[in-house]
């Protein structure tokens, strides 16, 4: 027998429902599902403070995120997609997409917190269920795009500077696109059905879909956490190997090291945050009824759950901004003309002993190993120069040229398929580790 529809009663009334459990006592003490309402219940005062603080944190995150996006996209020339061949169908720029999605997440979390604090649309459970769930999917999507970006970089990395199995571009596309769409399809479906069942008074059916929703979230967060940590760790290994393999020194060394530090920070933030969410989601899905009826337990879980997302976003923005503290760079980087004197590639060909030199026309020319070493004392290699420019958040004059065309090494092999390590794939590897 369905309970009375929420269309016919006040959501804040003292009646046992899925979103409100009232103890059987003379004082009519009620406990709220703080995802949907925080009014007229034992947790009201605490959760009201929690959500007000979350509004402030979300506002700070939005302002900082918009500033970082404007600085990187409009002033430093970064984009949200990678324009290159052989990188699969889905080519997001990791940092830019992460910043964009966590900014959208913070805007939506600010709105959803205002809905609860101001008690907007108290009788519309479909709206309240949806407005609580939709922000998390954008935050999740930001880390999925970061994963796709670094995984595509790994897939494109040359085997000469990598060890072990690396995913193919097609595998990254299929896995990443599926992980990105799954929350928007499966989770929204569960959320909307649960809200509709609550409005119709079918509480038992609503509870099934609420628990199913958090099972989906647990699986998705666990999968993403493991994937980000694995892909990020592999990328850090490749970048570290590059530093030692080509004996990068000076400012270029500091720049690449700064980029490595940033990647480490993001994967630590993502690993801890996503693992924490996965644990809380599993706990809430299994013990929801017990948690709701414990004022202290519900408030503690609600506070951690609410603030963890905001702190993850602020931490990721800080990890990106730390590059400006390590190596300050100008907002406007002058466009560099093609060099009239060839710059040595990052390594000699292992068979001929010759080192290719990227000329002003963009093709490699023959130089002896001694000549290359002589040049190397005064000019950075293309990969090192790209590392300096891109890891320092400065557009590189090399990156578009090497991405858009296919160049050949002195041995006649395409630079993105060649056997040497000064290849197009290596340049992409360094250039995208931002």
> 49-88, pLDDT tens digit by residue?
999 999 999 999 999 999 999 988 888 777 788 765 555 5
Tell me the chain's radius of gyration from C-alpha atoms: 26
* Model pLDDT, residue 184: 86
Q: Rounded to whole angstroms, how far apart are CA atoms 385 and 172?
A: 28
Whether residue 60 is found in the same domain as residue 91: yes
CB-based burial, 69-88: b 16+ in 10 Å, e otherwise: bebbbeebbbeeebebeebb
Q: How much is the average pLDDT of 410-422?
A: 32
Q: How much is the average pLDDT of 292-321?
A: 89
Q: Rounded to whole angstroms, how far apart are CA atoms 309 and 312?
A: 5
Q: Cβ(94)–Cβ(235) under 8 Å?
A: no
Helices (DSSP H) in 293-423: which residue ranges? 295-326, 369-376, 382-391, 398-404
Asked, for residue 320, whether it belongs to a domain, the answer is yes
Whether residue 349 is found in the same domain as residue 302: no
- pLDDT above 60 for 235: yes
Asked, for residue 25, whether it belongs to a domain, the answer is no
DSSP string, 3-53: PPPGGGS-TTSS---SSEEE-SSTT--EEE-TTT--SSSTTHHHHHHHHHH
Asked, for residue 408, whether it belongs to a domain, the answer is yes
* Model pLDDT, residue 101: 95
pLDDT tier for residue 420 given thresholds of 50, 70 and 90: very low
Q: How much is the average pLDDT of 194-207?
A: 82
In the block, which residue shows the tokens 């069942």?
A: 197
Whether residue 376 is found in the same domain as residue 274: no
Which pLDDT tens digit goes with each residue over 351-385?
Answer: 333 333 333 333 333 333 333 333 333 344 443 33
Whether residue 269 is found in the same domain as residue 127: yes
Whether residue 319 is found in the same domain as residue 348: no
Asked, for residue 13, whether it belongs to a domain, the answer is no
- pLDDT above 70 for 348: no
* Model pLDDT, residue 246: 58
Q: Give the least confident one: 99-108, 114-123, 197-206, 266-275.
A: 197-206
Listed residues 296, 326, 356: the one ending a domain: 326
- pLDDT above 60 for 309: yes
Listed residues 301, 326, 351: the one ending a domain: 326
DSSP string, 104-148: HHHHHHHHHHHHHHTT-STT-HHHHHHHHHHHHHHHHHHHHHHHH
For residue 358, the cross-strand partners are 343, 364
pLDDT tier for residue 106 given thresholds of 50, 70 and 90: very high
* Model pLDDT, residue 57: 95
Whether residue 62 is found in the same domain as residue 181: yes
Residues 6+ apart with CB under 8 A from 426: 157, 158, 161, 242, 346, 383
* Model pLDDT, residue 63: 95
- pLDDT above 70 for 33: yes
- pLDDT above 70 for 307: yes
Asked, for residue 31, whether it belongs to a domain, the answer is no
- pLDDT above 70 for 330: no
Residues 6+ apart with CB under 8 A from 427: 382, 383, 386, 398, 399, 402
Asked, for residue 333, whether it belongs to a domain, the answer is no
* Model pLDDT, residue 319: 86
Quote the number of domains for the chain: 2
- pLDDT above 70 for 422: no
- More confident of the two residues 221 and 427: 221
Whether residue 190 is found in the same domain as residue 259: yes
Whether residue 275 is found in the same domain as residue 394: no
Whether residue 315 is found in the same domain as residue 216: yes
Asked, for residue 37, whether it belongs to a domain, the answer is no
Q: Rounded to whole angstroms, how far apart are CA atoms 373 and 381?
A: 11
The mean of the pLDDT values for the chain is 71
- pLDDT above 90 for 332: no
CA distances from 144 to 180, 221, 227, 264 (A): 6, 10, 9, 16
* Model pLDDT, residue 380: 40
Question: Both tokens of residue 251?
Answer: 């400012």
Q: Rounded to whole angstroms, how far apart are CA atoms 425 and 242?
A: 12
Helix (H, G, I), strand (E, B) or coil at 364: strand
- More confident of the two residues 158 and 81: 81
Question: Both tokens of residue 419?
Answer: 């056997």
Q: Give the least confident one: 49-63, 72-86, 121-135, 297-311.
A: 72-86
Residue 343 host element (H or E):
strand 343-344
Q: Cβ(294)–Cβ(364) under 8 Å?
A: no
Asked, for residue 153, whether it belongs to a domain, the answer is yes
Whether residue 134 is found in the same domain as residue 175: yes
Domain that holds residue 101: 44-326
For residue 246, the cross-strand partners are none
Whether residue 362 is found in the same domain as residue 310: no
Whether residue 195 is found in the same domain as residue 292: yes
Measured from the Cβ of residue 21, the count of other Cβ atoms closer than 10 Å reads 16
* Model pLDDT, residue 7: 45
Q: How many residues are given for the chain?
A: 434
Q: What's 181's domain CATH number?
A: 1.20.1070
């Amino acid at each position: 027998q369905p309970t009375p529809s929420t269309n016919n009663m006040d959501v804040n009334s003292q009646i046992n429902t899925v979103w409100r459990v009232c103890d059987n006592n003379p004082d009519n003490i009620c406990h709220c599902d703080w995802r949907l309402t925080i009014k007229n219940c034992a947790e009201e005062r605490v959760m009201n403070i929690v959500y007000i603080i979350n509004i402030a944190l979300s506002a700070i995150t939005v302002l900082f995120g918009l500033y970082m996006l404007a600085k990187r996209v409009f002033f430093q020339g970064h984009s949200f997609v990678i324009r290159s061949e052989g990188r699969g169908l889905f080519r997001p720029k990791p940092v830019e997409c992460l910043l964009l999605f966590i900014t959208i997440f913070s805007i939506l979390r600010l709105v959803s917190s205002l809905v609860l604090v101001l008690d907007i649309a108290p009788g519309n459970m479909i709206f309240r269920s949806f407005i609580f769930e939709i922000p998390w999917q954008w935050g999740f999507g930001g880390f999925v795009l970061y994963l796709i970006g670094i995984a595509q970089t790994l897939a494109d990395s040359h085997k000469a500077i990598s060890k072990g199995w690396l995913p193919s571009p097609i595998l990254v596309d299929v896995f990443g696109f599926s992980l990105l769409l799954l929350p928007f399809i499966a989770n929204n479906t569960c959320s909307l059905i649960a809200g509709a069942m609550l409005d119709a008074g079918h509480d038992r059916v609503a509870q099934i879909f609420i628990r199913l929703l958090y099972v989906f979230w647990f699986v998705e967060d666990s999968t993403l956490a493991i994937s980000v940590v694995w892909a990020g760790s592999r990328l850090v290994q490749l970048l570290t190997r590059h530093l030692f393999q080509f004996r990068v020194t000076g400012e270029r060394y500091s720049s690449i090291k700064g980029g490595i530090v940033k990647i480490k920070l993001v994967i630590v933030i993502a690993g801890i945050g996503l693992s924490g969410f996965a644990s809380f989601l599993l706990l809430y899905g299994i013990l929801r009824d017990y948690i709701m009826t414990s004022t202290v337990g519900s408030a503690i879980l609600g506070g951690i759950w609410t603030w963890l997302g905001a702190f993850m976003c602020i931490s990721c923005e800080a990890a990106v901004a730390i590059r400006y503290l390590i190596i300050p760079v100008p907002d406007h980087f002058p466009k560099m003309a093609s060099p009239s004197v060839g710059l040595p590639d990052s390594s000699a060909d292992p068979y001929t002993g010759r080192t290719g030199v990227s000329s002003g026309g963009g093709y490699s020319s023959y130089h002896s190993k001694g000549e290359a070493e002589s040049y190397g004392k005064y000019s950075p290699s293309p990969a090192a120069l790209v590392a300096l420019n891109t890891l320092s958040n400065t557009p590189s004059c090399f990156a578009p040229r090497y991405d858009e065309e296919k160049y050949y090494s002195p041995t006649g092999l395409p630079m993105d398929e060649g056997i040497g390590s000064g290849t197009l794939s290596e340049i992409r590897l360094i250039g995208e580790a931002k």
